[in-house]
Amino acid sequence: MCHIGDGLAFSWRGESIICNPPFANALEWMEKACREAENAAFLVRLAMLAGKKRKEFWERNPPSSICILSQRPSFTATGTDSADYMWVTWSYKRKGQPTQVAWLGGKEC
């Protein structure tokens, strides 16, 4: 299903979500996904792993996988971003299993 508008205002119950949330409130988006979505994949800065508040979030909501991008992405086609990124996924089929960590490299990113 496709919605136009504020994604936080819609129900994600039973949905699979793929998202590149605004960094300023990415935690809010990920919390919503963990509460409501069946599956979720988020492209976020690697720095999202750090910080006291975020540490509590990660402990409560361990992801299914963390895939670190070995190459910084370009969002404007004029060069790469100055931050490192990762894909973080939650799949309720893998709930309770250890988080898998992988590195993505090359042009597939």
Report yes or no on 78 lying in a domain.
no
Range of the domain at 44: 14-73+83-108
For position 108, what pLDDT does the model report? 47
pLDDT attached to residue 109: 42
- Kindly give the confidence (pLDDT) of every residue in the chain, 109 residues in length, as a single tens digit, with 9 standing for 90 and above: 666 778 899 999 999 999 999 989 999 999 999 999 999 999 999 999 999 989 999 999 999 999 999 888 877 778 777 889 999 999 988 888 999 999 998 554 4
How many domains are contained in the chain?
1
Q: Report if residue 98 sits inside a domain.
A: yes
Instruction: Tell me whether residue 94 is in a domain.
Output: yes
CA dihedral 73, 75, 57, 101 (to 10 degrees): -20
